Chain A
């Protein structure tokens, strides 16, 4: 009896789908139809998402179901827009804000929670633990319909294993250049924020295009040679970033040549004399300090002064010509990275970017795509030298 009943309902639903296009404009995409059909068939076989989901997708959300494949390669079918999202890491939070989906976030990882200046709104939400150590009970208490986390952290052993299968765990990085744009598009679809997403990507593409346009034609032998490092000279010594690191990708995208390319990969400890031997035109330092944290400007200036004051570095072109630059992680990676790309490109080829005001680009980014307040715009140190006194 029950089976007959459910077949009946399914038939009614199916009729709805078939009838709809006849009634009005064709809101239902081919993909959505196929997915819904698959969902119905699954349901008939005793699986599937359940009747409520199928009905919602069929009657309330013409764009649904949607299929999303995350960066880890897992496929998820969404039958309706997400409403209760738990975000484990700051890179994801920043991206969701940029496409305007942050009003659906209900719980955040500790790094977001403590970053009150970058995430004034989100930092008031319940804490769901560290990005390596999620607090499963806190997550379950929020009854989320989506969890966003890094591809490798926390390990599925610590997260998915303890969650019911109805809660999808989408794993995306939001800081790696090679997948960043794709991930933003997917996020737009997950949150049903295609318009905002398109706005952001237009801004993103514009500056990538400007840089590519102006540096693309520079022949290899004329490109600026850059030494990229971690700024740890005072603590554990010179550590250079080479292929496979975000800083390397940034400087290459900006038209530079990494002096460590072909010598090392990832990050590697090197000697001062090797840097002297390479004699780079520009030294680019990455720092985890400052950015959205105020009061750390001096740490950034110290990195600059450490390089300038290292014995023997006076004969390096970069030091001689005062071309030592620092970018912070809040600037160089993630949604704000186009501003950093233009900035680095301008440092490398000042004459090609003469009329471009990089400060304005970053200010525009902060204004349009973040929820940060005036104090960040006025006092935040995102790169150095940034033209500000002290």
Chain B
């Protein structure tokens, strides 16, 4: 069980503020989905929690302020899967997953490290790609490799930025099932930014809805996702459906005109 707590977190890129007074406290071993329209601050919040960005206010992980932690301590606590797109020079899939061991390994790659790399590669089902050049893979394959890297990192909290962005529906389901399995079996806390509300509702235990850099609501998916709130946050008329297997489904109907993003 880990706790993530923020207190009046504010962040701006130059003069453009992105996060205002984000304050929340999570005691969880579960999956938290950050939802909200473009520019609502989901990615920024994730990057603040991993101390890639330096916001005002405080962020506590297990009651310890991340500003007092070393880079390596943060890396052993928090894993971060960015949106893919970075070229990686002369690296095989194995090499990229091995990077996940950076905070743990000594100069030599120990047996324990290789065990963990193998585990991560198998978990994502990318054994066949292990010797391939990372840059030659499809976007979806690269995304899986990056998730495997974060798994190899063995963190207590896993941050994912749009993890299913470039995956087709088959691979979306696979990847999310994997993440959800890991979270259930190891108690790893997962925080992921997700666009698709139906996906968020299906896999997340908790939702945090953001708009214009502030928290609109936190709660269980079925409590949070209502047509009124979707209209409030997204300016979209939507119908909420329910399928016995797929669970809650958000069917967007039309954009409400006249409201600038």
A and B touch in the complex (CB under 8 A): no
